[in-house]
Structure formats: structure tokens, C-alpha cells
Amino acid sequence: MSVTPAQPWYRYACRWGQTNLTEVDPGRYDLAWWRAYWRRTRVQGVIVNAGGIVAYYPSAYPLQHRAHALGERDLYGEIVAAARAEGLAVLARMDSNRADERCYIEHPDWFALDGAGRPYREGELFVACVNSPYYDEFIPAILREIVERSRPDGVTDNSWSGLDRSRICHCRYCARRFRAVSGLALPRDHDWDSDAYRQWIVWNYARRVEIWDRNNRTTRDAGGPDCLWIGMNAGDVAGQAGRFRDYQAICERAEIIMLDSQARSNARGFQANGEAGRLIHGLLGWDKLIPESTAMYQAGQPTFRVASKPEPEVRMWALDGFAGGISPWWHHIGAYHEDRRQYRTAEAIFRWHEAHEEYLLQRVPVATVGVVWSQRCVDFYGRDAAEERLSLPQRGITNALLRARIPYVFVHADHVERDSAGLAMLILPNLGALGDAQCEAVRRFVEGGGGLLASGETSRYDEWGDLRADFALADLFGVHATDTHHGASGPTEKSWAPWSNHTYLRLSPELRAGVDGPHTGDEPVVAGKRHAALEGFAETDILPFGGRLEVVQADPAAIVPLTYVPPFPIYPPETAWMRHPSSNLPALAFRDGADAGRVAYLAADLDRCYGRDNLPDHATLLANLVRWAARDRIPLRVDGPGLLDCHLYRQSGRLVLHLVNLTSAGTWRAPIDELVPVGPLRVRVELPDDVSGQSARLLVAATTAETDGRDGWAALTVPSITDHEVIVVS
Ligand SMILES: [Zn+2]
């Protein structure tokens, strides 16, 4: 993109730095050293601790606890002045969620109370209630003071959204406001079937949006129209839901998202960062910036706040973020470190980002597969088991797409109409709760020729999580619900025997024309040939399953290529034989109309199984189903060894393809401390009209590659990838 200084800060400042001050830092912050570090790491903005839990300037408000030994010094102001002298953007950092005992003693009514009237505490601190004057009066006054005295470009806030969903505040403000809105008393417990609890959830979300708007009015009023209050947000929807942060509403308001998602988990892998970029850009737009706090210390499991994280672990997290359109923001806890290795980590990553910025921002994803999601579904269907009901199925799908190197985008369930124009198919991974309008949009997509892969309980519940008589999309699936299931989705469902998940799927020996070679799915049905979507399983008649099967009644016209094999013992070995080698229970059903799109409905939760168990058969079958439903309309093909996260974009006159080498990470746990190269890789991309495909640059290898163009595709070879490669085809 062409960066001009005339743009507001949130349009150009993509690389950030944050020295997160601790209370003792006024005595040891070395301003000259940090200025040199800002220059060395090529940051365009810094985040400076201002106030909230601890103040780093002499606030006129005595209830803002000052850092130890701060006295009348304005450390925050000194850092801001230095940053301005360096030409950097500045965000003042707040944490408005908690305060100390003095504040509690003077204003007990500002703080959240449990059902017995005791204050909720976090360690030594007290948790402020979002409905109290603390948020309505005290925080706005602090924001105004900070903006007026130091003129930052904006304000971030670490844990701005107050008490999380696991705790109900019973203070008088909450009681009064909730009754005014709902006519009801506050819920006493977390009963998702009670009207009071449901209204409480919706009301809590609305209050956070009010706080977002209110804080923005305050900072803009005090600091001008570009002085934004931008909180901080999480990289995963379950995390946002747990804190009542409505990602859709926030992205409708935000000019930039400051993402606090600092490290991978072993369950989610580096690819979670590229996924977060896809998901948030899908809401926010691909023209806006998403800087992400990346820990230079050992964050995750276990956490060591002042020990250095291995450089390859930081690097791979950041690079997968780049692939998803996320930009870097280094984060150190404390201003002085005895483990100085962490000061070496950011420089190379940030300099690479600066040198190639024009290819990393302002681009549009190229994908024909859309993975549908909904935060409301996470709440009202996921309830207290969102990981099992929604995160695992989604993770299974996205990891199967990753493994198959199929590019995809995330599509919010409210945006199916808006965002599905270029898509060949949609995936609904166990989206249990969908509203009527959301289902109608999916139906129109399929009627218009779009493919669909849906699994499990998708559309079985309405937007409140109330059970419907049948799947709302039963007509598309070609099956009907029966209110029974076999197996379990995970720990929240009790198994009746230790081997109750020792189940299998049987591949039907039927269907499709008796011609040799791969089948298009368009031939007449003939016994003896398997369906095209079962390619790759010629030498087996069964697949391991071990998950939950929705028992469904298939329509006569539905094709059933997989059926369920009920459980049988595992131990002792003598007993491990199939009591019932087959059943007529469908595990998979196809609808393949001539006019409408192809639909695959998975009654067996292979998406969740793959997310949980990592069996390659499940991933292979899921990828087959995607290709079948998309009628093979996939714009990218990458052949060669390794686990690669592929993100494809277009800019004017060129394609940009990220290949992130997750091979090492995919086979062992965090943190990694060595990178193992893979290659050569043969890459083929479909060319848009304005891309000739005659030249290709490899930005990381700093070389060009020969291209071979035919039939609207360009092919090239990437000799080797250590951490990542970014290929620009023009
Ligand atoms: Zn309250």
C-alpha cells in the first residue's frame, strides 16, 4: 500500500512495540536504550502504560494507585515525548478492570459482588462492576485526563470488559439496570434454559458495546476524531464469548483491532494465528490493520514472564500471523531484563515485515471454500461446552483444509449472502444453533449452485439454543432428525462402557458408474463402484470412528456412502470382534441435484474427531468431501512433503501466496527451538484475469522462479522452505 503521512495513525501504523511496565520500572526504565530498540525493530507505534490499575503519571485522582517510587514523576509522559521525537504513534495503555483496596474502601459500590454480597477479587485487587459509576464516571474522567495532558493517538485497555461470563454480579446497579431492561430479577445461576439467564447474556453483550461507544466518545471529544479508544480483543471466538465481547459489533465500530493473542497452545498450533487473521479480517475488512501482541517472554504453558521465548517459536507464530494479514507487535513484560536474549528476537522479524509490507497488507483473499461461524452459536448452543461442541469441529475442519492445502475464508452466519459470491462451497461444522434467516441464506446459496458440507447437529437448534422438531436444513441435507444419537462428543457426555467409542464406519460398496478411473459423480448409479468422495480408501472397507453419530432418517433420494458400525469390546483381545459388522444407520449422506449445489451431511462427527484425535483418515475424508462439494473448484495446488499453511491473496495485477512451514511444529509440542526445511514443492495457482503468471518472485529466498503457464494456471517450483515463503506471481 502507499503510505502517506496524511493518513490517520490507524491506517499506516502496523508495527508496534510495548514495554509493559511493572511497578518497579520508574526506577530502572532506560529511555535511551528503549529508543534505540524502537529504531532497531522498525516499529511505527508504541503502547505506553498510562493508568488504570497502576498509574505512571501524577494523576489528579488520588484513587488511581501510583507505581512504587513514581512520586511526582511522569514516566508515562517522558516515554510519550520520546516516542513523539522518534515520529512514532502512541497508544496510552489502560487496565480498567480492577482497583486496589483503598479504592474499594472508599467506593465499595463500584465493585462486583457475588450472590452472598462479597466482592469478587483477583489476587490483591477488586474487580470493578461494568454497571457502576467506576465505568460511567471514574474511567471516563481518567481517560479525559490522560488524553488532555499527553495527546496520545488513542487508548488501549487490557481487560476492559469487566467480569467474565463465569461470574454473575449481584450489585445494586446490575439489579436495577437488568430489571429496567428485562423486567426480571438477576439470574441466580447459569441456567441456559431460563429466560432470565438468556436475557442476562444478551444484556451483558449490549453493555460492553455501550462501554466501547462511550469510551470512544470520551477520547474523541478530548483528543479529536482520530483519538480512538480500542480496548483489546482475543484471537478466538470462545475467548471473546467468555468475556461478552461481541466481535461482530466491535468490528463494525473499529478502525483497527489490537489483538491480544500472544502464543500458540499445543491443541491449536501456529495455524491458529493465521486463522484468527482470516476470521477477524472477515468481519473487519481486509483493508484495516490487525497488530498483534506477541510475547518475547515464555508465554503459554508454562509461563515465565521474564525468561526469553525460543526465537523460532516467536518467529513461527508471527509468520503464520503475517500469512493471515496480522502485523507484528513486540511485547516485553518489565523494562529491564537479566535474560537479554529476548532483545534479539524481534529485529529480524520486524525488518522483514517492513521490507515486504506492500505485499502483506491491503489484499483480498482468494478462496472458494467458506467456513461458517457464529458467536451466538458459541453462546447459546456451545453453552458451557463450547470447546467440545464448536471449537473442536471447527478445528478439525480447518486442520483438514490446512493438511490438504485448500485455501478458505471464514464467513459469519449473518454474512452468508454478503460474502459467498465467489465461493464454491460452504462448511457448517456442527453449527447447532442457527436462526431462520441464517438458514434461509444457506438454502439460497445451495439453490444457486453452491456446495455444502454440514455436520452433526447443524441447524437442529434455533438462535436461543432451543431444539427444533427437525434440522432446519433437513431438506438440504436429505435426512431427518430422530432425537437419538450413538457415542459421545466428549467428556460432557458420559459413556456407558469403556469401549463405547470403539466404533467404525463402513464404506458402502455401491454407487456410480462402472467405468475405470476417477468418477465425477455425474454418472448413473451402478453397484460395485465407490463414490468419488471415497477416493483413497480402495484397500479398506472400514474406517475408525470413535465419535458421536446423529441417528438420522435418510430421504429415499439420498445417497449413503458410509454407515455406522456399532461398538464392540477392545479388551481383552479375544473379544475384539464386530458383533454387528454393519447397520443401516447413515454416517454420511449426499444430495446431488442437477440444478442445486452438492450437499454432504456428516451424521458422524468426523470434524470433531479429527480436531480431537488427529487420525489422517478423517482428514482425508473431510478434504475429499470439500473437493466433491466444491466440484473441484480449488484455486491452488501444492505438491511436496510437509505440513504447510497456505494463504492466497490477490492485489492489483498479482497474486501473493504464503506457504508457512509447520512441519516441525505439527509433529511436536511448544515451544520449538529448531526449524527443519521442506522442499522442493510444486505450486500451481489459478490466475485471475489481470495476472499473466509470467513471473514469480520468492520474497524470503530473495530470488525468482521460472513459471510455466497454461489453461489459466501458473506452475512453479519452490526449492526449499525453512520457516516460510511468500510467492508473488505477476
Ligand atoms: Zn454489578
User: Over the range 187-226, which residues count as b (16 or more CB within 10 Å of their CB) and which as e?
Assistant: beeeebeeebbbbbbbbbbebbbebbeebbebbbebbeee
Distance (Å) from CA 218 to ligand 1 centroid: 22
Distance (Å) from CA 248 to ligand 1 centroid: 25
What is the reported pLDDT for 508?
Answer: 82
pLDDT at 625 over 80: yes
Distance (Å) from CA 131 to ligand 1 centroid: 5
**pLDDT tens for each residue of 404-434:** 999 999 999 999 999 999 999 999 999 999 9
Distance (Å) from CA 173 to ligand 1 centroid: 5
Residues 119 and 127: their CA atoms lie apart, in Å, by: 8
Distance (Å) from CA 325 to ligand 1 centroid: 38
Residues 688 and 694: their CA atoms lie apart, in Å, by: 13
Distance (Å) from CA 96 to ligand 1 centroid: 15
C-alpha cell, 118: 462479597
Q: How confident is the model at residue 474 (pLDDT cuts 50, 70, 90)?
A: very high
Distance (Å) from CA 678 to ligand 1 centroid: 55
Instruction: Using the structure block, give the residue that is written with the C-alpha cell 526506577.
Output: 27
Distance (Å) from CA 136 to ligand 1 centroid: 12
Distance (Å) from CA 174 to ligand 1 centroid: 4
Q: Which helix (H) or strand (E) holds 447?
A: helix 436-447
Distance (Å) from CA 171 to ligand 1 centroid: 4
**pLDDT tens for each residue of 674-690:** 899 999 999 999 999 99
Distance (Å) from CA 475 to ligand 1 centroid: 46
Instruction: Using the structure block, give the residue that is written with the C-alpha cell 463500584.
Output: 110
**pLDDT tens for each residue of 368-385:** 999 999 999 999 999 999
Q: How confident is the model at residue 512 (pLDDT cuts 50, 70, 90)?
A: very low
Compute the average pLDDT of residues 469-474: 98
Distance (Å) from CA 204 to ligand 1 centroid: 11
Distance (Å) from CA 109 to ligand 1 centroid: 8
Q: How confident is the model at residue 528 (pLDDT cuts 50, 70, 90)?
A: low
Residues 112 and 369: their CA atoms lie apart, in Å, by: 44
What is the reported pLDDT for 593?
Answer: 74
The pairing of strands 724-729 and 696-698 is: antiparallel
Residues 6+ apart with CB under 8 A from 382: 238, 241, 389, 390, 391, 432
Mean of pLDDT over the chain: 94
Q: Among 263-272, 373-382, 699-708, whose mean pLDDT is lowest?
A: 263-272
**Across the strands, what pairs with 19?**
332
Distance (Å) from CA 51 to ligand 1 centroid: 22
Distance (Å) from CA 118 to ligand 1 centroid: 12
Distance (Å) from CA 178 to ligand 1 centroid: 10
How many other CB atoms are there within 10 angstroms of residue 179's CB atom?
A: 12
Q: In percent, how much of the chain has pLDDT > 70?
A: 95
Distance (Å) from CA 238 to ligand 1 centroid: 23
Compute the average pLDDT of residues 604-633: 97
**pLDDT tens for each residue of 197-225:** 999 999 999 999 999 999 999 999 999 99
What is the reported pLDDT for 498?
Answer: 62
Distance (Å) from CA 413 to ligand 1 centroid: 32
Instruction: Using the structure block, give the residue that is written with the C-alpha cell 438468556.
Output: 198
Q: How confident is the model at residue 495 (pLDDT cuts 50, 70, 90)?
A: low
Distance (Å) from CA 198 to ligand 1 centroid: 17
pLDDT at 527 over 60: no
Measured between alpha carbons, how far apart are the two ends of the chain, in Å? Answer: 16
Distance (Å) from CA 349 to ligand 1 centroid: 44
Q: In percent, how much of the chain has pLDDT > 90?
A: 89
pLDDT at 497 over 90: no
Distance (Å) from CA 93 to ligand 1 centroid: 24
What is the reported pLDDT for 494?
Answer: 62
Distance (Å) from CA 110 to ligand 1 centroid: 8
Distance (Å) from CA 170 to ligand 1 centroid: 6
Distance (Å) from CA 213 to ligand 1 centroid: 19
Coil, helix or strand at residue 139? helix
Residues 549 and 529: their CA atoms lie apart, in Å, by: 25
Helices and strands, counts by H and E, the chain: 23, 34
Residues 6+ apart with CB under 8 A from 685: 635, 636, 637, 648, 655, 657, 693, 713, 714, 729
Distance (Å) from CA 164 to ligand 1 centroid: 12
The pairing of strands 98-99 and 125-127 is: antiparallel
Distance (Å) from CA 258 to ligand 1 centroid: 27
Distance (Å) from CA 127 to ligand 1 centroid: 10
Distance (Å) from CA 555 to ligand 1 centroid: 52
pLDDT at 519 over 80: no
Distance (Å) from CA 205 to ligand 1 centroid: 14
Distance (Å) from CA 148 to ligand 1 centroid: 30
**pLDDT tens for each residue of 100-153:** 999 999 999 999 999 999 999 999 999 999 999 999 999 999 999 999 999 999
Residues 74 and 69: their CA atoms lie apart, in Å, by: 11
Nearest C-alpha neighbor of 657 from the set 635, 679, 625 = 635
Could you tell me if 597 and 446 are in contact, meaning their C-beta atoms sit under 8 angstroms apart? yes
Distance (Å) from CA 104 to ligand 1 centroid: 14
Nearest C-alpha neighbor of 429 from the set 454, 461, 401 = 454
Distance (Å) from CA 168 to ligand 1 centroid: 8
Instruction: Using the structure block, give the residue that is written with the C-alpha cell 492485489.
Output: 651
Distance (Å) from CA 357 to ligand 1 centroid: 45
Distance (Å) from CA 179 to ligand 1 centroid: 13
Distance (Å) from CA 99 to ligand 1 centroid: 15
What is the reported pLDDT for 513?
Answer: 35
User: Over the range 421-456, which residues count as b (16 or more CB within 10 Å of their CB) and which as e?
Assistant: eebbbbbbbbbbbbbeebbebbbebbeeebbbbbbb
Compute the average pLDDT of residues 38-43: 98
Residues 128 and 123: their CA atoms lie apart, in Å, by: 14
Q: How confident is the model at residue 514 (pLDDT cuts 50, 70, 90)?
A: very low
Could you tell me if 223 and 209 are in contact, meaning their C-beta atoms sit under 8 angstroms apart? no
| Distance, CA of 192 to chain centre | 25
Q: How confident is the model at residue 271 (pLDDT cuts 50, 70, 90)?
A: very high
Residue 480, CA distances (Å) to 267, 452, 586, 672 in order: 33, 17, 11, 47
| Distance, CA of 117 to chain centre | 36
Please state the pTM of the whole predicted model.
0.95
CA dihedral 620, 625, 630, 635 (to 10 degrees): 0
Distance (Å) from CA 569 to ligand 1 centroid: 53
Q: How confident is the model at residue 510 (pLDDT cuts 50, 70, 90)?
A: low
Ramachandran area for residue 487 (φ above 0: left; ψ -120 to 50: alpha; else beta): left
What is the reported pLDDT for 511?
Answer: 45
Residues 182 and 428: their CA atoms lie apart, in Å, by: 33
Distance (Å) from CA 163 to ligand 1 centroid: 9
SS3 of 191-224: CCCCHHHHHHHHHHHHHHHHHHHHHHHHHHHHHC
Q: At what angle do helices 392-404 and 606-613 cross, to 10 degrees?
A: 80
SS3 of 293-349: EEECEECCCCCEEEEECCHHHHHHHHHHHHHCCCEEEEEEECCCCCCHHHHHHHHHH
Distance (Å) from CA 390 to ligand 1 centroid: 30
Distance (Å) from CA 169 to ligand 1 centroid: 5
CA dihedral 330, 334, 335, 336 (to 10 degrees): -110
Distance (Å) from CA 111 to ligand 1 centroid: 7
Residues 6+ apart with CB under 8 A from 429: 371, 372, 390, 393, 394, 396, 397, 455, 456, 458, 607
Nearest C-alpha neighbor of 245 from the set 207, 193, 281, 192 = 207
What is the reported pLDDT for 22?
Answer: 96
pLDDT at 516 over 50: no
pLDDT at 193 over 60: yes
What is the reported pLDDT for 521?
Answer: 46
Angle, vertex CA 723, rays to CA 717 and CA 727, nearest 5: 40
The pairing of strands 636-639 and 125-127 is: unpaired
